[in-house]
Structure 1
Amino acid sequence: MISGALRALWDEPRATPPAGTAWWDQALVAALVPLTAVEALLRDDVTRPVWDATWALVCVAALLWRPHRPLLMLVVGFTAQTVAGVVPALAGEPYSVLDVTAVVLLLAYSLGRWASGRGVVAGSGFLLVVHLAREPLYDASGSSMVVGAGALMLPVALGALVRLWARSQVRTREMIRAREREQLARDLHDTVAHHVSGILLHARAAKVRARTDPRAAVDAMGDVEDAAVRTLEDMRAMVALLRHDQQTGDGRQPTYGIADIPQLAQDGGVGPRVVVETSGDLGRLPATAESALFRAAQEAVTNARRHATDPTLVSVDLRRDGHTARLRVHDDGRPVTPGRGRRAAASYGLAGMRERFSLLGGDVSAGPDPEGGWTVEATVPLTAPAGEVGP
């Protein structure tokens, strides 16, 4: 287990840094430069103000490139702080350097936050080796050396934790994005299937009428044209949503809702008659539930027109019972042989419908009705199930 964790750390890629230099790093450097100069001039124990200020400013300047070159900037900053104190110590002079410890700790945090796994290992090793090598020159005790090593490793670990948290947030957004795109793809499929089914029925009617009444055939072709225009409009709208950058947080809502269900009864003229009835308080429903109910009704009506045997009526009944919305779509087509025909042809649409409702904590059932015909029933709770993340 430990070897696997170390191998995973070693292979860890670099985190994507922000573009350019962050304004807060620029502001921090702009504030630290004059403070460093003032400290070098005013501290009584600083005997080499130019020397100490020069190395301290090198350390401060490393902040400007810390997200993009975390390992290099850590080496530059920690080396500058070390040289400022070690060279005078080797010459027998007392230890007195400007306080840039906070800057070094911030560079160590940047190592864990942005560097690759190899960079984190190399940078941590560099910190520990240099720290343990220089502290005896300052007459540091063993306990203080251990505390100092821990203080240097703590921001590295903190940066790594922030890195893992940021990655989990990205993964969560990607999951939400993938789920929303999947839902939009289903919407696109359902919309196109519904309209193409209508176009096919109109085209067949035009073909039959053309033999006896050319004028009626022209009217039927007009219906085909209207259906094709609606199909193109819906396809363009859906494709535009699929292409839209979902990181903009535009807060869009599903394309269709309960208010659009009566439109299913307005594609008459060809095929069975569609009757839509609603009851209960259907206002202010969750947008996801509205979209799912519309798509279920649309899929069921489309399947009835495509696959039912000699249907004359498709009834769509939508009602609200407390915190549950119930949809029932029934056609009066003749029975078919079990396991063939209607059930097999509609299986893909029903599978997508069941998956859509399962995401909302609902349920879908479909099959031959004991009284004749085919019935599709769907229920969806009007409160989100625990743990659900909305689109």
Structure 2
Amino acid sequence: MRDISDARGTRGTRDARDARGIPTPLRAWSGRATAFAAALLLTATFVWAPDTAPDDSGPLFAAATALAVLQAAAFRWAPCREAAVGTGLAAVAQVLWAQPLVPAASLYERVGMGAFWLLPTLGAAVVGGYPRLMARREARAVREARHRQQRELAHDLHDFVAHDISGIVAQAQAARFVAGQDPDAAAGALERIERAGLAALASLDRTVHLLREPGPDAARTALPGTARLTELVDRFDAEGRTRARLTFTPAAKAALSREAAATIQRVVTEALTNVRRHAPDAAGVEVALTHEHGTLRLTVTNDTGRTRPRTRENGGTGLLALTQRVHALNGTLHTTGDNSTWRLTATLPAPLPSPLPTPLPAPGAPA
């Protein structure tokens, strides 16, 4: 029974505050108290004020001042409906409370008087409403950032983990066919399955790391370079019958920024995964990265093999997501193919880094 009561007590404490940490009773009573005080001021305005001299209007003035404070609290914390009712009644009370004190005033004077006493309501709206607006904008920005992280996580899982899992499936299929005839070959396939599984776990670790607070070397972990690309192609070459080769020029390596390197690795991962899915008996894959006229060009070319490409009931979204990512970097991505060859081409703007200027000799130093 203690556990249940403790759990209920914890839940009650948590429910007593909203998502912004504001106590729920304060949110509710700020609007209701404003409406109640406005009703009292309106009642005093029409019942007591007509028989009151202007010199004796101190209590009404104090009530109007306190009502302005309640309005600010309602603008800041009350639910929208209660805030509208409470602050609306308070605005009417603020405009009317001084009218009976000046019975001989003209219409223009009454309009000016009402406009003047509407200023406390406008001030309360600024004092209470502006922080509320900023809090809502902050909450919306947090939600949008979470949604972006979720989309990035989904892309990472598709681009990296799906590649390793497809390798596991391919090796398992190969082991199933040769297990009865060649146990040694099956043992080798099991070793490759183990390596692919460890690679998938490492990819999951890197993906989860992207959601954590960045550390000193988070950029290097999240944004791979040519070493990761070489490892990716070598692992694909070792895990299946399809041979894979990577070539890149020194200029391409020099112009490869961290953002471009991450995007290129995603593109190559998706291309190799599609080869394994749709052309499992392809003879070879050529991955080439070049740099010409300030543009990085990636081409992934493979033959379609002898069997008919595999199809799925629901088309994948990998290439579509990658196309959007490449376009976000002002690049292009397209595919071409015929009966025997399939090619994926991606281009990214990547000017070569400017060489560091030669330092000037210190005064008095030999030239």
So what's the TM-score if we normalise by structure 1?
0.64
- Is the counterpart of residue 276 in structure 1 residue 249 in structure 2? no
CA contact (8 A) 1:111 1:123 kept: yes
C-alpha separation between the residues in 2 aligned to 1:317 and 1:133? 80
2:29 pairs, out of 47, 58, 69, with: 69
1:19 pairs, out of 18, 21, 31, with: 21
- Is the counterpart of residue 303 in structure 1 residue 274 in structure 2? yes
1:262 pairs, out of 227, 230, 235, with: 230
Q: How do 1:281-360 residues align onto structure 2 when only pairs under 5 Å count?
A: 282=253, 287-308=258-279, 310-321=281-292, 324-334=295-305, 341=309, 348=316, 349-360=318-329
C-alpha separation between the residues in 2 aligned to 1:105 and 1:284? 62
Compared CA separation, residues 212 and 118, structure 1 to 2 (3 A): closer
> What CA deviation, in whole Å up to 9, does each residue of 1:114-165 have, x standing for no partner?
3333223312332133224420354384144222343133235545566455
Deviation at 1:375, TM superposition (A): 0.6
Task: Tell me the equivalent position of 2:197.
Answer: 228
Q: How do 1:144-159 residues align onto structure 2 when only pairs under 5 Å count?
A: 144-155=112-123, 157-158=125-126, 159=128
Deviating more after overlay: 294-303 vs 250-259: 250-259
Deviation at 1:282, TM superposition (A): 4.3
Task: Tell me the equivalent position of 2:345.
Answer: 377
State the SS of the aligned residue for 1:69. helix
State the SS of the aligned residue for 1:376. strand
C-alpha separation between the residues in 2 aligned to 1:282 and 1:76? 72
Compared CA separation, residues 221 and 132, structure 1 to 2 (3 A): closer
CA contact (8 A) 1:265 1:273 kept: no
Return the letter of the residue paired with 2:297: R
- Is the counterpart of residue 196 in structure 1 residue 198 in structure 2? no
Task: Tell me the equivalent position of 1:170.
Answer: 139
Compared CA separation, residues 335 and 320, structure 1 to 2 (3 A): farther
C-alpha separation between the residues in 1 aligned to 2:147 and 2:201? 24
Return the letter of the residue paired with 1:319: T
C-alpha separation between the residues in 1 aligned to 2:311 and 2:56? 90
Task: Tell me the equivalent position of 1:112.
Answer: 75
Deviation at 1:277, TM superposition (A): 2.1
- Is the counterpart of residue 94 in structure 1 residue 56 in structure 2? yes
Return the letter of the residue paired with 2:85: A
C-alpha separation between the residues in 1 aligned to 2:335 and 2:311? 9
C-alpha separation between the residues in 1 aligned to 2:314 and 2:81? 54
C-alpha separation between the residues in 2 aligned to 1:250 and 1:78? 54
CA contact (8 A) 1:313 1:332 kept: yes
Identity fraction in percent: 25
Compared CA separation, residues 309 and 82, structure 1 to 2 (3 A): closer
Compared CA separation, residues 347 and 72, structure 1 to 2 (3 A): closer
Compared CA separation, residues 345 and 278, structure 1 to 2 (3 A): farther
State the SS of the aligned residue for 1:311. coil
Return the letter of the residue paired with 1:71: G
List runs of 5+ in structure 1 lacking aligned partners. 1-14, 22-64, 384-391
Deviating more after overlay: 66-75 vs 309-318: 66-75
CA contact (8 A) 1:201 1:271 kept: no
C-alpha separation between the residues in 2 aligned to 1:346 and 1:130? 63
Deviating more after overlay: 347-356 vs 89-98: 89-98
C-alpha separation between the residues in 2 aligned to 1:88 and 1:146? 16
RMSD over aligned CA atoms reads 4.3
Return the letter of the residue paired with 2:298: L
Deviation at 1:363, TM superposition (A): 2.4
CA contact (8 A) 1:66 1:73 kept: no
2:184 pairs, out of 192, 197, 215, with: 215
CA contact (8 A) 2:38 2:89 kept: no
CA contact (8 A) 1:271 1:305 kept: no
Task: Tell me the equivalent position of 1:47.
Answer: none
C-alpha separation between the residues in 2 aligned to 1:373 and 1:186? 27
Return the letter of the residue paired with 2:154: A
- Is the counterpart of residue 134 in structure 1 residue 104 in structure 2? no
> What CA deviation, in whole Å up to 9, does each residue of 1:37-90 have, x standing for no partner?
xxxxxxxxxxxxxxxxxxxxxxxxxxxx86563313435777899999997996
CA contact (8 A) 2:32 2:82 kept: no
Task: Tell me the equivalent position of 2:12.
Answer: none
Task: Tell me the equivalent position of 2:3.
Answer: none
Compared CA separation, residues 152 and 17, structure 1 to 2 (3 A): farther
